[in-house]
Structure 1
Amino acid sequence: MDSAGVIARDPILDALADAVILVDPLGRIVQANRAAQELAGRPEGPLSGLDLSELLSEVERTEVDADPMWSHRARVVRPDGTSVRVEYASNPAQVESGEELSVLTVRPRKGGLGAGGRDALLEYLRMTAKVTNRLGSRPSLELVLSTAVETLIEGFDAALARVWIVDRGTGRYRLAASGAPGRSIRIGSSLKDESADPPVEVVEVARSGMHFLVEGLRDDDRFDPAWIERHGLGSLIALPLAVAGERHGILVAGMRTEPTEECLDALLGFSTIISASFNDVQLLLGELAARVDAEAEHRRFQTIVDLIPIGVVLATGPGPEVALINPSGRELLGTDGSISLDDFAHRLPVRAVDGGPILDADRPLWRAFNRGEQVRETLRLERPDGQERILEVIAGPFPGPDGGAIATFMDITERSELQSDLAMRAAQLKALLDHLPVGVAYFDPDCRCRACNGPAWRILGRSRSKIIGASAEELFVESPGLLAAVRRCVSEHEPHAQINAPWSEEPGADSPRYLEWRFEPLMTSTREPIGALALIVDVTARKRTADAMQKARDDAERSARNKARFLSAISHDLRTPVNALNLLAEALDRRLRGLPEDAELARLSSYLRRASGNLAELVSDLLDLTCFDSGEVTQHLIDFPLAEWLDSTLGPMAMAAQQKGLEFTWSIEAGVTWIRADRVKLGRVLTNLVGNAIKFTDSGSVRVSAGLPPDGRLVLSVEDTGPGIPDAQLGRIFDEFAQLRNPERDRNKGTGLGLAICRRLVEAVGGRLEVTSLADNGSRFSALFPVVPLPGPTTGSTGRFPDGPCTSDRPQVLLVEDDETTRLPMSQLLELSGFDVSTASDGAGALELLSTGRPALVLLDLMMPRMDGIEVLRRIRSDPVLWDLPVLILSGDVLDERARQLDALGVSGTLAKPIDFDRLLQVLDQVAPRTP
């Protein structure tokens, strides 16, 4: 007889919102309330008699951190093919007759099936369904034995499984079934009697009637070590097979490891199922069900309600009164039953979730009682102990004779706090992302955009709907580089970047905007790739600024090249006539010395020389300053004796000092001999400083000293007895054109560029220029140059410019100059100075003269028609006869770029136009000296 037929339906269970299911030890459903029927998709058909496995599938035993009572996860399979994910609590219940049933409280769940939990209990449910399906209503003994052994091996991972049964004739136990992994199950006559007497485990269980567990089997001397080693056993479990005090046999499982408590529980349940199969299971259950009376049934359902892990409150009667509060409800709500519904309301101070008050008539239980509504709400409860809890309340009408309402109360405080915390964190994260200065977008493993922050869609100039959900191909239809970058980032899990990528807000539209994209791979905590993160920055302004700066640099470089070409041209074109004027004035002056004295001609000649000198100085200063501004400053280091250099540099200046009646001396500190430095730049600085001292000193003296302190810097000091420099102007004397801005300046005394050029020259080679002065007490200028001291004889030296001309043999000099106004006076001056001069007006003529003989020196102009000086010099150096011929360059092109070319061709020296003839004679004496 079906046990479900004698169990009356209980209105309390039917009124509960959660599904409640009663299951017998064999896994058959004995009773279920209406909520369970609706959950199972069978609102009209009863669930009684079904196997639990037909209703619940894919059971996982996973502990729920937030609420451990709901420890099971399952899926309810409905007749229409759909399924519902649920979680349930299972509790045992025993009625007066001794029958043990399981009470399952089931509720739908929002999350997916969890992993983990009580695996052994899940195995118990699986094996229950397996045994029930295989045994049928009247199983054979062989089927029971093979199922038991197979289940122990496959379901519980036993290394050895055996079943002993009782011989009813002798009362002794005999081996009836045996099996091991990878071996067939042997039953009955196929078994070999392994021992005359039952083993220890059988004896112990037969004697006590209790289950037998041996842990640490390898250390137990009661068992054969070879047998333990052969089967790899770590523990042994023996369980009695008995029903209603009648012994049937013993179930033995040899395990590789020590079993857990959950595994032992599952084995106990499994042994109960096997035991029941030895007595007609269906007949046994039918008889038990037939003896259940109404009082026992009431107590059974009372037990069920008491075991439900949620609060249950039942209100009935016309009062109405609270007739029932289960233990979970009393613990949760902090109140007892048997009170009026009004008193219950006063003891239950609840508010809305947002903190607002709730009228009594709007409370869920009142609405269910008075209006017959089905209500589901979330409320705040302040318990008597001061704690505030969040409750989920489900209420509905109760179909009793006097009417009523029933409600369940579930504490969801932790879940609500977790949801609130997650919501707050999500809001904070969204606010953070929306306030970032960069756009952020997420691409999934299929390269489809799944999320973006506010700056992203504003930077991209497209709405969120056009970005979120769009594939990379759709977003980057006009940007193949970006498409390739995001694909590589997703597939290769490496960061990629696209700088200054052009971007159009709408495909096909012209856009001047530029974006910077950086794609970073996204990984889980276990290093599983989940897509790519795109960081987007609008760099349009930066790109335009960079383009403008590049254009400005290009323009500046083009201007610098034009300036260099201009300087090269103007240097020659301007210096050549100035040089000619200077040489003509010098030649005229020297010619006048051989004629009868004419005061007027001498005065005009002096004016001409002064004007040409000032013009030459002005041109040289301006062109030198322009070279500094273009950065064309290069040192040409040579080794030379300091005393000789000082004499040759200062000697020509002594005449100017003598003409003004000044005492002019120079000296070198003892110990200073040879140095390595840029001789030309040193001379330029020294002549400027000495020239200024002579120019601005009307009486007294000008003294020059040279020294080499231990720090390795050459110190050139020029001291005069002139008017000095006022303190107010000391800070301005090194500025360009400083003298031009001085209204008290005598315009005949300089351009105002000399000191500026001196400072630039000194600083260009890593030195320093200093000045000390007092008004009306003279000035002292000191130039500090980094030089390389060289060993040599130690001599002190003082000198004066020699008064008379020197006599010498006449070296042959070839002058190559295309400008006749420069060529004629220079050749005359050289002739007067003791040289034999041959002249050529162009490069071809110079090479023709050189083919007829070898001079002592060639004075070569660079800027000439048809064949310039560089080509002439190149041919001289390639000639096997003339390759070492000294060549002195006279040029108006003073740029260092041209100087590097000349150094590569091995020139003997370079003099810039306008030519200082005295300086020219000094160089000639060094390269092609005149013999006394």
Structure 2
Amino acid sequence: MLHADKEILKPWCVFIIDDSPEDRSEIHRMLLSGSERRLTFVEAGTGAAGIKAVLGAVPPPDCVVLDYNLPDMDAHEVLAALIGSDGMPVCPVVVVTGVARREDGRRVLRAGAQNYIGKDWAGAQALTRALETACEGWAMARELRQGRDALRLVADRETFRRVFGDAVRGLTDEHVIQQTASDLLGAHLQASRVMSLEVAGEEHVVVGPSYVSDVNRMAGIYRLEDYGPKLLATLRSGENVVVTDIRGDGGYSESDKSAYAQMEIAANLGIPVLKSGKLVAVLGVHQNVPRMWTSEEIAIAKEIAERTWAAVEHARADAKVVASRVQLSQIVAIMPSFSAVLKGPEHIFELANQSFYDLVQHGSEILGKTCLEALPELATQPFPDLLDKVYLTGEKFEAAGMSVFLRRGPLEVQTEIFVDFVYLPLRGADGQVSGIFCHGVDRTAEVRAAQSLSMRERALRSLADNTPDLLMRFDRQLRHVFVNSVVEKITGRKVEELLGKSNREMDMPAYPCDQWDAAINHVFEHGSHSSLDFEWATPNAGVRYYSSRLVPEFNDDGGVESVLCVTHDVTRRRAFEQQLADQARRKDEFLATLAHELRNPLAPIRTGLQVLKLAPDLAVVTQILPVMERQLGQMVRLIDDLLDVSRINSGKIVLRLERLSLQEVVASALEASRPLIEAAGHSLRVDLPADLVWLEADPTRLSQVLNNLLSNSAKYTRTGGQIHLAATLLGKEVHIAVADNGAGIPEDMLSSVFDMFTQIKRTLDRAEGGLGLGLSLVKTLVQLHGGTVRADSPGIDQGSKFTVTLPTATRPDGQPACEASSPTSTVSNGRRILVVDDNVDAAETMVMLLELSGHEARSAYGGQQALDVALSFRPDLVFLDIGLPDMNGYEVARRLLADPATASTKLVALTGWGTEDDIRKSKVSGFHAHLTKPVEHEAVEALLVSLLPTRRA
């Protein structure tokens, strides 16, 4: 035996197809005797009967013994009918024949038989072995065929899966996905219809895209209850509905069968799709004829149903994302603020609006580039890390006024801008972060404005805190809303103490509070400025005087919003105004004194002239002329003092410095002042250093200083007083003091005694004249010499002391010998002289004086007249006034020098203008000399001798 195991020894059913009853019985007998198995037999006498019985048997017989020749067909035809879909007979077949030809055996084996045996040599054992060999061969072939079929099914399934995946991949429309899946599955299963049904609500299903072949397409909405409660429960439980033949299935009513027949459904697969335990869709596979559904077909249908629904859900989610992206892009495009969408962990620009392009100064070329590819300057800034963090954590990031540096402009200059922005994570259909939405506002202008405003505020605060004025701002409740730091110096209170409080809340006394409230309310009510002057006791500077100006500050509606008060410390101004008032008063006193001082010498001069008229004899003339000359000299000195003051005030005084000894200066001053001292009966004491003290000084001006001091002492000391001049050498300075025991100086006058026009009221029995210019000249001249002067006095009637301090000079190496000047000759040789002056009296008296001196003199009173007289008179010298009515003296001089007839005439300016500038102008205009009125006769004669030494022929 080939096998002795349980599988071989199981009972067999043997089907004998033979037209001979005897042969059937013989085969029956031989098998029973030759086999150890328990056998059962089924018989048929024709091929058709055998075919029907074998194909209808469930299960089929274990083996068929087939006669080669049958009355209705041969073995080849029977074998062809028994071949199944897999290419093999439904059971093993052994062909027996009365004529065992080899060729016939090969033919039946090729036709599908497993063995072949002749009746003439078939014994019990041979037939049994042939039967068992056939069964074993068929089983092995069937197993091999099933293995090949399984491999083919796997290959087909994988191929189908790949085709399905390739076809569905990339599809974004749910209807296209469903149609594609239905078409592919329908073709693969060779079904009549494949369709997707989606559950809508609790009661209906909606037929989606479907595949049909030789049947009608179904569409529309169907009720769930049409499935029947049993079928619906099966689907909702997640079990597949598998029906091979609806017409033969007792589970369907006749009405159901009729309905299915109308829909051309004979066999049906219902594949449920559940999500979270709920039925959401059904994949229906229909066949218009009964069909045995294999497990492979059911499995592939189940897989396709699940994959299709997953793809549909994904497409719907993607569609939502796309719709949201489209909506987002539309929103981004119209948003006034800058916006951009970056996708993926690489942060690739997907969308951006014009505002974003304007911000980064790039166009749409940045789309498709990563953030750092588009904007490489961000690599060293925090933004890439912030994007990574938002993408990884899914948490938004927002910032206000954040600084960012971008390359902008044609030169790509790195520019700082300021932005408010937010990074929002964007999520895909799977809920995972897929991108980032960047949205923000460019705040650069506002930040710059705020920075500028802050700078201006700091500058204004600095200006306000560094201005000497007190600045305050009041609201309508009279409260301080702004105060600068000057308030601390004035009130001793901190700025913070005043803010938000009114003056009354700061415990200001009632009276000034009333003043302030009235002034502030006036501005609020009338919208015009107001002013307020007040005094205040400061913590450290005593009582100070202030002047306030209050002005309205208007709002956009034109109403007064606040009142600004600027308070200025006018203490110094008040003092200066008082000084100006004092100076004006002193000037008035000076003018009165000047009139008095001028009248004093004029009175004896005028009286002298009257005396000369009444008694013109020589004795009277001899007596009265010295008086008139002395009084005239007094007037000249007054005028000289005034001229000196004018020169000093205009800065035109020039020192003629030279090396000289103090002793020389003192001697000159004593010579000038001694007559006044002796006339008053004063005693004079002079103490000078034994050695010469050398100075770098103007001898005339320094002598004038000491002369003024000595003359003051002589004038303001009672008759018989004492005057002391002493010089002391201290280091590189010499101190020259002039002291007296005279009227003294009040203490309150010591600080102003050197001011111009200052006069000290005297209580002496005799009044001494004076314009109050002397000490002012002293101070200025001493300062011009690099020295100082100080006044000291114990008080009224206790004398005074003036001390002049001057720098000393080094001793000169040698003193040049001073040649004695020969006296000026007054002998006249009689010159022709023309006097030109619009003051007729001055011109005529000068002519008379010149004629008395032996000269031939003429006069003219205007410029043109002077030119005419000069042409006919041909003078040797012309005394020419500068201020003439028709043309000035400079023009007359120019014409005289330009005319050959008068080109050699000497020209002397005789004018009341005697400043250094006046002398320079006359020299430039061609004048040979310059004399200032009034002029001494001796000076005139000396000038004539120097300019006209010889008589003209």
Identify the TM-score tier after normalising by the shorter chain: 0.3 to 0.5
Using the size of structure 2 for normalisation, the TM-score is 0.33
Using the size of structure 1 for normalisation, the TM-score is 0.34
CA radius of gyration, larger in: 2
